[in-house]
């Protein structure tokens, strides 16, 4: 009984920190949802866009930029990375997965070039948390409130965008490319915009993460893609994707629940080094079960 109480107490103590982390990574899950679900484009660039956002944000803060403008610069860099991936696929005719691998590999060196070193401390520089929360900048619950508002605002903007003519054209590209072309939709432009947007969100998460934890590191994005996919699949399993709102809320809810599961696993004594293996097995089973039952795959992608 005592050990169970100790586990419960450890889990409760981890909740505030894990909620902050989950809301930051909710931006990554939303960014992964756009290429994977809206465009049916399996983009791996987010694994490099998140550290790119962190590095650009750190370099901007060190250069004296405002914390908000540093985040905007991070998003712009992430947008550019996503556009490069899409353009490589369209112009060179390389497989979608390989395009992402090429770009995220190149981004590792680019990130070090941007900062001039593998990591940069940011404790001496202002952050959006300090500007918005003042003396409460270190309080996890205040950080949760701020990040929750940002996530909700982004979901509302995405809901509006996906219901516009451009958004519906982008969704049509993901459903059926030949039909989209027949309707006069420019598939190339919408693919570039979609991948750019998704990676901008991943870079935003990187910038927020750097400002929240007080440093930027080129290795911060390791494993973020599989974590984001796990969150996306978990959210879609629970909420579904029958409407635009459900499709947008699924990655957010999935990210929150996924990181609570991670916190519980750590509380019961699972080694942190085993978490990646557990996540990979979870994603594999989620994708394999529909195929084993003779149903369509849960992940429709283009080559």
Per this entry, what is the length of the chain?
A: 303
Return the structure tokens found at 157: 């903007």
* SS3 state of residue 137: coil
Q: pTM (2 decimals)?
A: 0.92
Segment among 117-121, 146-150, 238-242 with least mean pLDDT: 238-242
CA atoms 45, 47, 53, 59: torsion sign: negative
Residue 51: phi and psi, rounded to 5, are -65, -30
The domain ranges of the chain are 2-292
Of the ranges 2-6, 68-72, 246-250, 262-266, which is most confident?
A: 68-72
Return the structure tokens found at 171: 């969704």
pLDDT at 2: 45
Of the ranges 141-150, 168-177, 242-251, which is most confident?
A: 141-150
Q: Provide the mean pLDDT of the chain.
A: 89
Yes or no: domain 2-292 corresponds to CATH 1.10.155 = no
pLDDT tier for residue 144 given thresholds of 50, 70 and 90: very high
Return the structure tokens found at 265: 């696993």
pLDDT at 290: 61
């Amino acid at each position: 009984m005592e050990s169970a109480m100790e586990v419960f107490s450890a889990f409760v103590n981890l909740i505030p920190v894990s909620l902050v982390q989950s809301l930051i990574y909710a931006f990554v899950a939303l960014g992964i949802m756009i290429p994977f679900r809206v465009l049916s484009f399996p983009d791996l660039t987010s694994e490099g866009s998140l550290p790119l956002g962190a590095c650009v944000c750190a370099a901007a803060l060190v250069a004296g930029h405002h914390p908000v403008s540093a985040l905007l610069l991070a998003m712009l860099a992430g947008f550019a990375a996503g556009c490069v991936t899409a353009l490589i696929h369209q112009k060179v005719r390389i497989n979608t997965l390989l395009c992402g691998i090429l770009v995220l590999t190149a981004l590792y060196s680019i990130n070090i070039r941007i900062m001039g070193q593998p990591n940069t401390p940011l404790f001496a520089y202002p952050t959006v948390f300090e500007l918005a929360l003042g003396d409460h900048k270190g309080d996890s619950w205040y950080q949760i409130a701020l990040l929750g508002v940002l996530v909700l605002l982004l979901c509302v903007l995405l809901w509006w965008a996906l219901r516009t003519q451009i958004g519906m054209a982008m969704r049509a590209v993901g459903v059926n490319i030949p039909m989209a072309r027949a309707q006069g939709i420019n598939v190339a432009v919408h693919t570039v915009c979609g991948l750019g947007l998704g990676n901008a969100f991943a870079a935003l998460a990187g910038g927020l993460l750097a400002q929240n934890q007080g440093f930027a590191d080129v290795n911060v994005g390791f494993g973020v893609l599989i974590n984001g996919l796990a969150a996306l699949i978990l959210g879609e399993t629970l909420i579904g994707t029958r409407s635009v709102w459900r499709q947008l809320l699924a990655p957010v809810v999935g990210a929150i629940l996924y990181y609570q599961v991670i916190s519980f696993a750590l509380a019961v004594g699972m080694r942190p080094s085993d978490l990646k293996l557990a996540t990979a097995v979870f994603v594999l089973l989620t994708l394999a079960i529909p195929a084993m039952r003779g149903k369509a795959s849960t992940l429709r992608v283009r080559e």
